[in-house]
Chains A and B, each alone.
Chain A
Amino acid sequence: MAETYKQLREYNNIFNVLLVLHVIVIAIGLGAAFYMEHHGHIVTGMNNQIVWGLPHVFAVFLIVSASGALNLASASSVFSKLAYKRFARLSAILAISLLIGGLAVLLLDLGRPDRLIIAMTHYNFKSIFAWNIILYTGFITIVGVYLWTMMDKTVTRYNKIAGWGAFIWRLILTTGTGSIFGFLVAREAYDAAIMAPLFIASSFVYGMAFTVWVLITMCQATGKRLLTRDVSNKIRELIIIFIAAMLYFTAVHHLTNLYAAEHTGVERFILWSGSVFTWLFWGGHVLIGSVIPMLILMQPNFGSSRAGLIFASVLMLLGGMAHIYVIIIGGQSYPLALFPGMEVTSTFQDGQFAHYMPSLPELLLGIAGISIAMFMTGFALKLLPFLPSPVADGK
């Protein structure tokens, strides 16, 4: 029987170049974080109105994607879809890497990143944020154990249990991430339980996009075929369903908000006002991130080809960033209703739409988060047999 997994040993310069590029980006990102830490957040575009900026957009995007990156592993272990078994290890290591990339950005954007030990030792169990810290560390641990059961024959019998554990944990994790926003009762753009399933559906899409991105990059880097036509086709169909689910929850979220008079203001602001968020929502999230990838993937031949899949994935990732940007920045930009129905002004920008222009250090830190995830995955592939073995031509 041919071995299912391979350690990355033979690769061309694309891999080396990418690895070096990621190291450079990480170094620049760390420099940017140090610059922000040294001078304070005054050097960022964030302020007392937009308190979570671009780093949070990257961080949440990566954390949500991490959960979705586990899709192929879950499909093989939990739903017994053996066609995906070859990708289970890569799926798991990518999930861990994406989460660490996201957490690194989140940590480095704290006002006091030096107080990590406090964040790890002081817990307010009423805080969904504190629960998320537990969910993140738990995710890394459980997926780590899951990987172990995939790789060590002496514990293979526990693979199914570990797979189920990781599957349930990832759903809880994304529910927790969505609830960070869902629990904000005073912010009209959030304050909705549907944020949790919306984040879960979105995680499926972004996680799959990252998985496809890494798989096809590795096809290029090894010069081998890692995906059969059959699997490419299955992935294509899966992504279509996931995008449809994400659009469904997006539609329900906005339509239910439009029904309630108290939320029509914020909905008009996001969906109709012509602000940057309107463009990012319709142009970025809906068109580039959902409709066009769906149309590409609906073409059976082109959609399951390497070019079609990578094209759709890049669009999904760009659309995903736009989606999270609209949620995080757009939601804060809409003013709080201190005195509903009244016109309110102050020196603290009450009653005004808050403006936000991300600064370069924020962007560099955010991109470094992606590079951390990609570098970790690439390094892990060199270290242990995580990569699926190449398939014979013609399959």
Chain B
Amino acid sequence: MISLKPDDRKSEKADREAENDGSRRAFLKGAAAVMAIAPGMTLYAYGTKDAVAKPLDEAATRKNRWGLLIDAAKFTDADVDRCVAACQKENGWKNTGHPLTDAQWIRRVNITNKKTGEHFSLPMMCQHCAEPPCADVCPTGASFRRDDGIVLVDKHICIGCRYCMMACPYKARSFVHEHLEDQKSYAPRGIGTVESCTMCVHRVDEGRQPACVEAAPQGAMVFGDLNDRSGKLAQLVERVATQQVRADLNLDPGVRYRNI
């Protein structure tokens, strides 16, 4: 159960209004767009979706900065677990009974304020930093940031040195300790290499949302383009109070949080 202080609730109400305002605007914009083209066609940008399918032969560009806004106040422990399960199903990683060595692309982090006893939980994954320390320290360049902000590992040139795991402030990376079976063709994994949340890049490139976002409660996770000022995510980030985890490190993460 999430308990909030009165001030937090007030600000949450204001945030929700801002969010609804943004949703209405997006709806009207989307509706106008649908009316402007032939009947029967659907725009990926319709409604709350900011992702637009990009042809596979077209490179990602700096025009986009994909990101997430996670509202901790809208998550119960079970909700977070559903996001974790969705990611596992989508990307093919699972618990093998070795909790210390099993990969975890996304996890539930339980947070308790030591002074007040206030408790909440949230999903934690790669924060897709604009200045990713993992990519900075990677000797071969296997860890890299795509132009659209998604931080990935090139499994073909990862030598498994694990320096990126030492450098990541969010403990978002896992090392594949064992041989793997039943992999997904769009989410290749390999023994001896490092991996982490890809923001479901295969889905994003098709104009779809990450699996965790789909599994999250309504409005608890918003995916979109931080660079698109008319998009829902950018508007929310502009209007409501959001936080970055370890903002002191100045890494400019693409994943933002509310109510933490």
Contact = CB atoms under 8 A, between A and B. Distances in A.
A112 B159 contact: yes
A28 B32 CA distance: 72
A112 B160 contact: yes
**Interface footprint category on B:** 35 or more
Contacts of A180: 163
B111 A342 contact: yes
A336 B127 CA distance: 15
A340 to B, nearest CB: 8
Interface stretch (B3-11, B166-174, B212-220, B231-239): B166-174
Contacts of A332: 166
Interface stretch (B22-30, B63-71, B94-102): B94-102
Interface string A177-191: 000100111110000
Contacts of B136: 126-127
Nearest to A183: B137
B16 interface: no
Interface string B167-183: 11111011111110000
Contacts of B103: 48
Interface stretch (A39-47, A158-166, A269-277): A39-47
A336 B100 CA distance: 16
Interface stretch (B53-61, B187-195, B203-211): B187-195
Given A40-B177, A118-B157, A118-B159, A338 B109 contact: yes
B192 A41 contact: yes
A296 interface: no
A336 B137 contact: no
Interface stretch (B39-47, B138-146, B222-230): B138-146
Contacts of B173: 48
Contact of B179 (A40, A126, A341): A40
Overall SS of chain A's interface: loop
B73 interface: no
Given A123-B141, A187-B166, A348 B157 contact: no
A342 B139 contact: no
A338 B169 CA distance: 7
Interface in A81-135: 110-113, 115-116, 118-119, 122-124, 126-130, 132-133
Interface of A: 37, 39-42, 46-49, 51-52, 110-113, 115-116, 118-119, 122-124, 126-130, 132-133, 180, 183-187, 332, 336-339, 341-350
27 contacts: A39-B178, A40-B178, A40-B179, A41-B177, A48-B102, A49-B171, A110-B161, A111-B176, A111-B191, A115-B157, A115-B158, A122-B139, A122-B141, A124-B141, A127-B137, A129-B161, A130-B139, A184-B137, A185-B169, A186-B246, A186-B249, A187-B166, A342-B111, A344-B110, A346-B108, A348-B104, A349-B100
Given A112-B159, A184-B166, A186-B133, 16 more contacts: A40-B176, A42-B101, A112-B158, A122-B140, A124-B135, A124-B140, A127-B139, A130-B139, A184-B133, A184-B167, A332-B166, A341-B114, A342-B112, A343-B111, A346-B109, A350-B109
Interface of B: 98-104, 107-114, 124, 133, 135-142, 157-163, 165-171, 173-179, 191-194, 245-246, 249, 260
